[in-house]
Amino acid sequence: MITIRKTSEESITALTSREVESQDVTEVVAEILADVKQNGDEAIRAYTKKFDGAKLAELHVSEAEISSAIQETTPEFLAVLEQAKQNIQQFHEKQVQRGFITTDEQGTVMGQRVIPLEKVGVYVPGGTAAYPSTVLMDVLPAKIAGVSKIVMITPPNAEGKIPTAILAAAKIAGVDEIYKVGGAQGVAALAYGTESLPKVDKIVGPGNIFVATAKRMVYGLVDIDMIAGPSDVLIVADESANPRWLAADLLAQAEHDALAQAILVTTNEELAQAVQVELQAQLDALPRKEIAQHSIDNNGKLIVAKDIEEALAIANQVAPEHLELCVAEPFSLLGKVKHAGSVFLGHYTPEVLGDYFAGPNHTLPTEGTARFSSPLSVDDFIKKSSYLYYSKEALHTVANQVIDFAEMEGLSGHARSMRVRKEEL
């Protein structure tokens, strides 16, 4: 049974430490990247055979495969996907940035344009579970941004097939091209381009340690969204919270991954005890019990804080991916939250609502990176470009100041670029 720990007995740092993955796969990934860069499709096919067990003649998913996937999906689930799409679109449309312009009477014009990225690659993990929600969450903001070409990659199963739900979600989201390739080799294909796959400008989407390492290594040649780590939730709860609901929310997080982290911070010790009992009871009923048990045993925490201020201090220290405020007056605490990917307010907003359906993105900063990172958004699929125009008169006005600055920095060639114009004015 998971221990209840108190801030009166331990430091916040000790309370919030977590098990981390330390596997270094850099060498393996570097080799795969180099191989794909040099050998293209041939290398992709070899790795797909080796890692996924699939012998593929064609990497590109055909229109026929997509159509039959749609036909194999139930109308009910297609309707859920369509509703989720609508909700996600509505939320993300609010994120659209506009350019700006400034002008003055001397004849200067300056500003910033907002330009969509041209080509984006979306990685969708394979493996035991299929996550169509990831397809919607990663593709729809790119569509709203105006990306011209969205290329999705995902590993096939041993029969060379992609789950129908993934293909259906890709079709609904508006993916332009889909390829059967995963792992570091998939990231390499998108970063360098191959005979079949186009080189893209940015790669987004979650993946295992091989995918994450490959993304880190190609960062700079292409952009990436973030290095995703295991998922986490922190729940701040007061005496108004329902322990059964809290335990269910903690376990929903824990079932993702043995390295996932689920933390409860409460001001009420009795609530912590009730959650402790519920956790054990509900764990036994979970199909993914083994994973959830490992996560709870290693990274699960029940913490009793002395007051709500301290509970929020712990939350800000952890900078959780998901923060639930299961308290009577959740909006009163929102302004105290400094670092969290997404905040779920009140008793009727379990984190699960954000995973599929509500509208905000579920791709969120993990492992404390909410200190400096943001949820995936339309902003991830645009770039900005500034522009300047000076009239002859405006240039004349500032010429001496710019020349002084350039000379002070020791760059006479810079000063000269102003002087040659000034001479002829």
According to CB under 8 A, which residues from 293 to 322 bind its own copies? none
**Which is nearest to 69 in space by CA: 170, 158, 157, 159?**
170
Residues 6+ apart with CB under 8 A from 365: 226, 319, 321, 341, 372, 373, 374, 375
Quick one: which of 8, 22, 71, 386 contacts its own copies (CB under 8 A)?
A: 386
Helix (H, G, I), strand (E, B) or coil at 107: coil
Q: Show the site string, 327-366: x = touches its own copies by CB under 8 A, - = not.
A: ---xx--x--xxxxxxxxxxxxxxxxxxxxxxxxx---x-
According to CB under 8 A, which residues from 181 to 240 bind its own copies? 201-202, 216, 219-220, 222-223, 227
Any known ligand binding at 355? yes
Any known ligand binding at 253? yes
Here the tokens at position 131 are 């996550």
The site for its own copies, by CB under 8 A, has a size of 123
Minimum distance, C-beta of residue 243 to its own copies, in the bound complex (Å): 10
According to CB under 8 A, which residues from 24 to 43 bind its own copies? none
C-alpha to C-alpha distance for 190 and 40, rounded to whole angstroms: 11
According to CB under 8 A, which residues from 257 to 296 bind its own copies? 282, 285-288, 292
Q: Which is nearer to its own copies, 261 or 377 (CB)?
A: 377
Residues 6+ apart with CB under 8 A from 140: 85, 88, 89, 92, 173, 174
Q: Show the site string, 90-129: x = touches its own copies by CB under 8 A, - = not.
A: xx--xx-x--x-x-----xxxxxx-x-xx---------xx
Which helix (H) or strand (E) is 390 found in, with range?
A: strand 382-390
Q: Sort strands 119-123 and 223-224 into parallel, antiparallel or unpaired.
A: unpaired
Quick one: which of 52, 238, 249, 257 contacts its own copies (CB under 8 A)?
A: 249
Q: Which stretch binds its own copies (CB under 8 A): 54-62, 63-71, 245-253, 296-304?
A: 245-253
Minimum distance, C-beta of residue 100 to its own copies, in the bound complex (Å): 5
Which helix (H) or strand (E) is 38 found in, with range?
A: helix 26-39
Minimum distance, C-beta of residue 296 to its own copies, in the bound complex (Å): 11
Q: Which residues of 127-165 are buried (b: 16+ CB within 10 A; e: fewer)?
A: eeebbbbbbbbbbbbbbbbebebbbbbbbbeeebebbbb
Provide the annotated active-site residues.
321-322
Q: Which is nearer to its own copies, 42 or 407 (CB)?
A: 407
Q: In the chain, what's the furthest Cα-to-Cα distance?
A: 85
Q: Which is nearer to its own copies, 49 or 101 (CB)?
A: 101
* Residue 388 touches its own copies, criterion: CB under 8 A: yes
Distance from CA of residue 328 to its chain's centroid?
Answer: 30
Q: Which stretch binds its own copies (CB under 8 A): 55-63, 150-158, 181-189, 411-419?
A: 411-419
Any known ligand binding at 231? yes
Q: Which is nearer to its own copies, 6 or 288 (CB)?
A: 288
* Residue 418 touches its own copies, criterion: CB under 8 A: yes
* Region class of 211: left (phi > 0), else alpha (psi between -120 and 50), else beta: alpha
**Which is nearest to 194 in space by CA: 207, 177, 208?**
177
According to CB under 8 A, which residues from 366 to 385 bind its own copies? 369-375, 377, 379, 383-385
Q: Which is nearer to its own copies, 183 or 360 (CB)?
A: 360
Quick one: which of 248, 276, 298, 336 contacts its own copies (CB under 8 A)?
A: 248
Q: Which residues of 175-185 are buried (b: 16+ CB within 10 A; e: fewer)?
A: bbbbbbbbbbb
Distance from CA of residue 263 to its chain's centroid?
Answer: 21
Q: Show the site string, 59-78: x = touches its own copies by CB under 8 A, - = not.
A: -----------------xx-
Strands annotated E in 238-300: 261-266
Minimum distance, C-beta of residue 394 to its own copies, in the bound complex (Å): 7
Quick one: which of 39, 62, 106, 391 contacts its own copies (CB under 8 A)?
A: 391
Minimum distance, C-beta of residue 343 to its own copies, in the bound complex (Å): 4
**Which is nearest to 311 in space by CA: 262, 345, 264, 243?**
264
C-alpha to C-alpha distance for 219 and 201, rounded to whole angstroms: 10
According to CB under 8 A, which residues from 145 to 174 bind its own copies? 165
Any known ligand binding at 148? no
C-alpha to C-alpha distance for 386 and 363, rounded to whole angstroms: 29
Question: Residues comprising the binding site for NAD(+)?
Answer: 123, 185, 208
Question: Residues comprising the binding site?
Answer: 123, 185, 208, 231, 253, 256, 322, 355, 409, 414
